[in-house]
Structure 1
Amino acid sequence: MKKIAVVGAGISGLTMANYLEKYKIDYHIYERRKKKDLAGHGFLIPKEGMDYLYQIIDSDLLLKHGNFLKKYTQYSHIGKILAEKELDNVFAISRHSLVDLLAQNISPEKITYEETIISDDQQKGKLKLSDGSYIDAEIAVISDGSRSRIRKSLFKDETMRVVQESEVVNIIQNKEIADSIENDFMKFHHEEGGLTFGILKLSDDTILWYSQFDNQRYMINECSAENLRKYMLEVFENWHPLVPEIIQKSDYKNVHLWCVYELEKLNPFYKENIVFVGDAAHPLIPFTSQGVTSALKDSFSLTEYLVEYNDLQEAFSKYEAERKPEIEVHIKNGRILLNQFLLPLNQQTENIIPISYK
């Protein structure tokens, strides 16, 4: 097997590296950020994603760092129960915990941090380091996120648009609050739509919370941590007491304001010897809760085809043919969930779960 360069050491890049490790395929990861990026956000992983994750991370170890959610409960903003539904092995875990677990199987010598990779318009399929030298690899797996620089350089006519939803995401460590919450997924909704507050219990003392905003109705003009805290307290002042309590007692040093983008139309998943996985191939609206699962399935499928087929273009073609139809289903579902979010509660579909299933 030829040497592979993996661009991006996030979830999809580290997942790809883990599958390459299983087959003892030579690779190196290049990441433009520093090693520790602890922005406070996390993931919901449905059962299907967990089945793939178990192939590369021990199940007992996973359970020490996250939590299976038993039930989804939808509330009005003042705490009236609107709907309840049992969840089938949906796992909640913080981003930094999952990154650390995925990185444990990767030798430090195989990851270079603070290195920005660019594509060479003059040399098709070639990637360059910041010093201008070319990367020594026959295959490049690109996992540099939803706003991938390399994807944009290869598909110059692509159109990315801002989604009418932004998220503020944070993690709070507070055992007293955590003890008051069951192992559930709680989500509070404003009656007029376009504003929610979600709570996921990660462990006996840690909670992930996030707020979704219709960014045309709720504009955050200044994004400092203190401003976000002040803004959140103002917006959620009259909600169920649990919501402002969590906002008030949170530490905002790693709070994350997420502006969401999507591709107007999916690009091909590969070009020449360059292939895309995860958000770099197909940005998904966060309502789908399928980002990690899709990254896991992309990496598994691509590795299997690279092992099975000697012809690189055939392997890439098989990978795209398998993965693209499912991704298009999640994109469609994500837009449906977004449209529901923007509507007043009395116009929304009942019992809708913020997870896309194919």
Structure 2
Amino acid sequence: MSKVAIIGAGVSGLSMANYLEKNNIDYHLYERRTQNDLKGHGFILPKEGIELLSEIINIDELYKKGSFLKKYIHYSQSGEILSEKDLDDVFVVSRSALIEILANSIPSDKLSYETTVTLKGFSHGKADILIDDHAKLEADIVVASDGSRSRIRRGIFQDENMKAVLENEVVNIIENEELAGQIENNFLKFHHENGGLTFGVLKLSSSKILWYCQFDITKFFINEEYTPDCIRQFMLDHFGNWNPLVSSIIEESGYENAHIWRVYELEKLNPFYHENVVFIGDAAHPLIPFTSQGVTSALKDSFTLTDLLNKENDLEETFRKYEEERRPEIDIHIKNGRTLLQQFLLPLNEQPKNTLPISYK
């Protein structure tokens, strides 16, 4: 069986490593960040994502780290309920918790942190890749899982166009038992009457809340220094007079680990592979936040690719079938995400009722 090099130890790379580990396929995972660099946000996992995770982790460990959501409740900024929708097997978990669970299943000798991988070109149908700019990486297959701004992808498809989405996010986690006690296990989303500004609340545990704001970048601006004080001031300026739950969460939060998510998407998807390099997760298909399908799509990529590696002997045919199977669903999520983005930008009185901010195929 071929030796696989996985570039990037985010959710997609770690998922791929877990599937390969389960199927006894030789691999090594390379990550340029430190092991303890777990900054980020949280994930919403629909039922399909939970089912895929259950094949590679102890699912009870996941359940201890997050919570199932009962309803999606859409509010005006003042707290008036606009719509409610029951949720079926939708789970929320912090990024750090999911990364930790996935990494725990990978043997330490198969995962290298603080390692920079650089694509130098191709020869004889294989990528020429250097590790830390001196050692040559020896692998039959290179799985690029280095995120939406993938350096591997940009090195291959040099004429691609990444464009800014008209929405950015601030994401944060607050540990406050009193505030968490005021929230049931629902997905709460507050929306400004003029559109283009929302605040979402998800309860992770009895004391921990994941919150995020989405804002139209043509109307609202954060000082580009992105200091904790700048982020806090932005939140107070734009959400300080919203529903008391929202304003209380903002005021009580610390901002040292708040994450600014500047969202980009590919104007047109590239092929999912080139020579012996194959892309998974955001490296293949960046999805804008409204889909809530980033993790599940990465898991399906990893599952599908591993399954095909087990079945097929011809690499070109393996990669062709992988793209053939995955691309149609990704196209649906991209279309749904853009529709949800346009709805987000609209005033409340122009938005369709009972819209769920999760893309389904």
Task: Name the SS for the 1:120 alignment partner.
Answer: strand
Rounded Cα–Cα distance in structure 1 between residues aligned with 2:158 and 2:40: 32
Equivalent AA in structure 2 for residue 132 of structure 1 = H
Q: Which position in structure 2 is the counterpart of 1:275?
A: 278
For the residues of structure 1 that align with 2:28 and 2:121, how far apart are their CA atoms? Answer: 22
Partner of 2:46 in structure 1? 46
- Tell me what 2:32 maps to: 32
2:142 maps to 140
CA distance in 2, matches of 1:32, 1:65: 26
Give, in angstroms, the shift of residue 321 of structure 1. Answer: 0.3
1:232 paired residue number: 235
SS across alignment from 2:154:
helix
Partner Cα distance (1:147, 1:62) in 2: 28
Mapped partners of 1:193, 1:328: distance in 2: 26
Which residue in the other structure is 2:131 paired with?
A: 129
Measured in 1, the distance between the counterparts of 2:133 and 2:324 equals 36
- Residue-by-residue CA offset, 1:306-347 (whole Å, 9 max, x unaligned): 010011111111110000000000000000000000010111
2:353 counterpart SS class: coil
Matches within 5 A, 1:197-212: 197-212=199-214
Deviation at 1:122, TM superposition (A): 5.2
CA distance in 1, matches of 2:314, 2:38: 39
For 2:201 and 2:230, the matched residues in 1 are separated by: 21
Match of 1:315 among 315, 318, 322: 318
Identical counterparts, % of pairs: 61
Give RMSD over aligned pairs.
Answer: 0.9
Deviation at 1:112, TM superposition (A): 1.0
Superposed counterparts of 1:138-177, under 5 Å: 138-177=140-179
Moved more, 123-132 or 103-112: 123-132
Moved more, 52-61 or 191-200: 52-61
- Work out whether 1:324 is the aligned partner of 2:327: yes
Q: Within 1, Cα distance between the matches of 2:21 and 2:212? A: 34
> Partner letter of residue 80 of structure 2?
K
User: Is the Cα contact below 8 Å between 1:193 and 1:341 reproduced in 2?
Assistant: yes
Which amino acid is 2:276 matched to? N
Query: Deviations for 1:10-48, whole angstroms, at most 9, x for unmatched residues?
Result: 000000000001111111111111111232411001011
After TM superposition, give the deviation of residue 232 of structure 1 in Å.
0.4
The answer on whether the counterparts of 2:121 and 2:129 sit within 8 Å (CA) in structure 1 is no
Partner of 2:11: 11
Q: 1:127: how far off? A: 1.6
Give 1:246's aligned amino acid: I
| Partner of residue 66, structure 2 | 66
8 Å contact from structure 1 (residues 38, 254) kept in 2? no
| TM, length-normalised to structure 1 | 0.99
Equivalent of 2:220, from 215, 218, 221? 218
Give the 3-state SS of the residue equivalent to 2:91 in structure 1: strand
In structure 1, distance between residues paired with 2:206 and 2:40: 18
Whether the aligned pair in 1 keeps the contact of 2:30 and 2:112 (CA below 8 Å) is yes
User: Which residue, out of 253, 267, 270, partners 1:250?
Assistant: 253
CA displacement at 1:225 relative to structure 2: 1.0
Which region of structure 1 is more displaced relative to structure 2, 118-127 or 69-78?
118-127
SS of the residue aligned with 2:121? coil
Q: Which amino acid aligns with 2:45?
A: I
Tell me, in whole angstroms, the C-alpha distance in 2 between the residues paired with 1:2 and 1:182: 49
The list of structure 1 runs, each at least 4 consecutive aligned residues, that deviate by more than 3 angstroms after superposition, is none
Report what 2:93 is aligned to. Answer: 93
CA contact (8 A) 1:141 1:274 kept: yes
CA contact (8 A) 1:66 1:203 kept: yes
State the one-letter code of the partner of 2:355.
I
Could you tell me which amino acid in structure 2 is paired with residue 336 of structure 1? T
For 2:81 and 2:56, locate their aligned partners in 1 and report how far apart those are by CA, in whole Å.
38
| Deviation sequence 1:269-318 (CA, Å, 0-9, x none) | 00000000000000000100000000000000000000100111111111
